[in-house]
Amino acid sequence: MIITGAEAQQNQPSRTFSQNLFMSNSLPKEGKVEKLQPNDVVDWMIIEKTLTNLPSTILLSSSHGMQIQVSADSGTLLRREQTETLVASFVIGDALLFVGFYKAGLLTIVFEYPIFGVSTQLQSDTTHTPEYIASIEAFDNLDNSLGKIKTPGLSQHEGGGLVDLNFFNNKGRIRKLVINSKEEGLHIPFAINAMHLQTVN
């Protein structure tokens, strides 16, 4: 089941490539990483029109009907779209979820049932230094961490592109994800495009 309300508060801790296979840089203890083979997708297009301010917690469904809860501990979610005037590197027309427009923080995603893998792309911008660190951490049903991947990024104003965030668990234990972007240890706003999911092995 999707966690809601008090439980949610308690537990908060590119290009389109749906046809591609890619290697995850996650190395779970329980086994060797295999190629992720997405069979489902979460497209932010289904939420609202672009430039719509969203509640801090939203419920939506993947293309195959899996329920997903998305929440920002900063309380700010914004539906955006990549346009020619938006300074970002996503594909024109990509539906984006923007996190931390007024106050930056964590993005938490809870799946209706555990899955094997996920991929998305993130882009952020910095204030003081050109570099930032994007991270994705996965948790199981009992809220135990399955690992955390940190990937360096470069400010879009410094020519930085998209950061690939991929996580795979060969036992299909991923129930929750926490996505984050930091500059010098401080949270900064970021946007992600569609999430591609592997729900079966």
The pLDDT value recorded for residue 78 is 95
What count of other Cβ atoms lies within 10 Å of the Cβ of residue 165?
25
Q: Collect the ranges in the chain with pLDDT lower than 50.
A: 1-33
SS3 158: helix
The pLDDT value recorded for residue 48 is 87
The pLDDT value recorded for residue 138 is 98
The pLDDT value recorded for residue 159 is 85
115 in Cβ contact with 197 (< 8 Å)? yes
181 in Cβ contact with 190 (< 8 Å)? yes
The pLDDT value recorded for residue 147 is 97
Which domains are delineated in the chain?
Answer: 5-15+23-198 (2.60.120.340)
The pLDDT value recorded for residue 188 is 95
The pLDDT value recorded for residue 1 is 40
The pLDDT value recorded for residue 55 is 94
The pLDDT value recorded for residue 10 is 40
Question: Side chain identity at 181, as an amino acid letter?
Answer: S
The pLDDT value recorded for residue 34 is 54
Please give the torsion angle defined by the CA atoms of residues 8, 12, 18 and 24, in that order, rounded to the nearest 10 degrees.
Answer: -140
How far apart are the C-alpha atoms of 157 and 70, rounded to whole Å? 28
